[in-house]
Amino acid sequence: MIRPPPIVDASLNLFARLCADDSIYRSTTVMQFGTTHLTGSFIAKSFADDALPDSVFMSCFVKCLQYDDFWIRPECFGYRIFLNPEVSAILNIEWTKRDTSEPRYSQFAAVSALQRCLPFTILKNTKMVHLPFRFTFN
């Protein structure tokens, strides 16, 4: 199956409109995830070089990608799976140094988190699994 490429120019234009220094959206709520309001300034900080995106923003971003696949690019729905950032935390892939008193991870917590992420997903159609994480150097 050949899928059309995403429209990158539209994404870059949206980012420029939201995050430019003179943008009216810098202090305006442009997204809301739960009780958290995300402004253009917050988005710009999350995408800055060497920035650590807030886990709330990462969760919101994953929800947006899932929504896009379902409504905007239905040919991709089920083809790509976006896992929640909580799975990264459970697997503890973000840190190279670990507290040795803790187990590496809990398989029960991981299974529970995956069941919340994938309640109705038919995995036989899946070609890509995306797991967001914050990469840091220590």
CA 57, CA 38: separation in Å to the nearest integer?
Answer: 8
CA 92, CA 81: separation in Å to the nearest integer?
Answer: 20
95 in a structural domain: yes
CA 13, CA 3: separation in Å to the nearest integer?
Answer: 22
32: containing domain:
10-17+25-130
Spell out the residues 6+ positions from residue 97 whose beta carbon is closer than 8 angstroms to its own.
138
4 in a structural domain: no
CA 99, CA 97: separation in Å to the nearest integer?
Answer: 7
1 in a structural domain: no
pTM of this structure: 0.53
Domain count, the chain: 1
136 in a structural domain: no
3 in a structural domain: no
Q: Residue 138: what pLDDT?
A: 44
Q: What pLDDT digit, counting tens, does each position of 20-75 carry?
A: 888 888 888 888 877 888 888 887 877 776 666 667 777 777 888 888 878 888 77
121 in a structural domain: yes
109 in a structural domain: yes
Task: Tell me what the mean pLDDT of segment 7-17 comes to.
Answer: 82
Q: What pLDDT digit, counting tens, does each position of 73-120 carry?
A: 877 777 788 888 777 777 765 554 555 555 566 678 778 888 877 766
77 in a structural domain: yes
